[in-house]
C-alpha cells in the first residue's frame, strides 16, 4: 500500500493540473509525471481518475469554505450585519489573485456534464454548502425568507465568478456587491419584539 505522503503528492499535483488545465485535459500520465509517482501508485491510492477528481473537489471544498468564512469575517469586522455584503469583498480578494482561473466547482460541473460523475456530485454539494452558509449569514442579519434570498445571492456569486474569470479582472465582485446592496435594500427584515 502506498504511503500517505505519496497519496498527498499525487493529490497536490492533480489539484494544480485540474485547476490550471482542466479535468478532461489532464490525464493520469500527466499527474503521475508531475507528482514523480507511477500510474500504478496513482491507481493504488485512488482507484480511478474519477475518484481522484472527487477527492480533489472535496478537499478544495473544505479549504475554500474555510478561507471564505475567514475572509467574510475579516471584511465584516466580525459584525453580523455586515457579513452578507462582505461576501463580495472576499470574492474580490480572490478574483485579484493572479492564479484565479474561475470557480473550480463551476468549471468541473461544466466540464463533466454528467450528474452521476463523482466530481459533478462533489461540485454540486459544494455549491449547496455555500448557499447554506449564505442563507445563515442572511438569517443572522435579520432578513426574512433567507432561503429565497440566498438563492438570489448565489446567482450574483456564481455570475461574478464567471465574469471575473472571463474578464481577468476583479471588478465583477464590486458590481455584484452593488447589485446585492440594491437587493437587500428592498428585502423585508424581521421585526424585533
* Half-sphere exposure of residue 17: CA atoms within 13 angstroms, side-chain side: 22
**Calpha distance 166→137 (Å, rounded):** 28
Write the CB contacts of 88 (distance below 8 Å, at least 6 apart in sequence).
156, 157, 160, 173, 174, 176, 177, 180
**Are the C-beta atoms of residues 153 and 180 closer than 8 Å to each other?**
yes
**What Cα–Cα distance (Å) separates residue 5 from each residue in 8, 28, 48, 60, 156?**
5, 18, 18, 18, 39
Once rounded to an integer, what is the mean pLDDT over residues 186-193? 81
Dig out the grid coordinates for 125 from the structure.
Answer: 454539494
Cα-Cα-Cα-Cα dihedral sign, residues 140, 142, 146, 150: negative
Identify the CA nearest to 184 among candidates 172, 192, 176, 193: 176
CATH 1.10.357.10 residue spans of the chain: 49-185
Residues above pLDDT 90, as percent of the chain: 94
**Eight-state DSSP code of residue 189:** B
Helix (H) or strand (E) holding 139: helix 118-140
Q: Is the pLDDT of residue 78 over 90?
A: no
Dig out the grid coordinates for 176 from the structure.
Answer: 455584484
Predicted local distance difference test score (pLDDT) of residue 113: 82
CATH 1.10.10.60 residue spans of the chain: 1-47
pLDDT tens column, 47-74: 999 999 999 999 999 999 999 999 999 9
User: Per CATH, the architecture of 1-47 is what?
Assistant: Orthogonal Bundle (1.10)
**Are the C-beta atoms of residues 85 and 181 closer than 8 Å to each other?**
yes
User: Per CATH, the architecture of 49-185 is what?
Assistant: Orthogonal Bundle (1.10)
**Are the C-beta atoms of residues 88 and 180 closer than 8 Å to each other?**
yes
**Are the C-beta atoms of residues 155 and 91 closer than 8 Å to each other?**
no
What backbone torsions phi and psi does residue 79 show, to the nearest 5 degrees?
-100, 120
- Local confidence band at 193 (pLDDT 50, 70, 90 cut-offs): very low
**Are the C-beta atoms of residues 11 and 56 closer than 8 Å to each other?**
yes
Predicted local distance difference test score (pLDDT) of residue 192: 59
Amino acid at each position: 500500500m502506498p504511503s500517505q505522503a505519496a497519496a498527498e503528492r499525487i493529490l497536490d499535483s492533480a489539484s494544480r493540473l485540474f485547476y490550471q488545465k482542466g479535468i478532461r485535459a489532464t490525464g493520469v500520465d500527466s499527474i503521475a509525471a508531475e507528482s514523480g509517482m507511477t500510474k500504478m501508485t496513482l491507481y493504488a491510492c485512488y482507484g480511478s481518475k474519477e475518484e481522484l477528481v472527487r477527492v480533489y473537489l472535496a478537499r478544495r471544498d473544505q479549504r475554500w469554505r474555510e478561507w471564505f468564512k475567514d475572509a467574510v469575517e475579516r471584511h465584516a469586522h466580525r459584525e453580523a450585519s455586515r457579513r452578507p455584503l462582505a461576501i463580495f469583498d472576499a470574492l474580490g480578494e480572490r478574483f485579484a489573485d493572479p492564479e484565479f482561473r474561475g470557480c473550480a466547482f463551476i468549471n468541473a460541473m461544466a466540464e463533466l456534464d454528467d450528474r452521476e460523475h463523482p466530481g459533478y456530485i462533489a461540485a454540486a454539494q459544494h455549491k449547496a454548502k455555500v448557499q447554506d452558509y449564505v442563507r445563515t449569514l442572511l438569517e443572522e442579519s435579520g432578513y426574512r425568507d433567507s432561503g429565497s434570498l440566498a438563492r438570489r445571492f448565489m446567482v450574483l456569486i456564481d455570475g461574478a465568478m464567471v465574469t471575473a474569470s472571463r474578464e481577468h479582472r476583479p471588478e465583477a465582485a464590486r458590481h455584484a456587491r452593488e447589485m446585492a446592496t440594491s437587493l437587500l435594500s428592498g428585502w423585508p427584515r424581521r421585526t424585533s419584539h
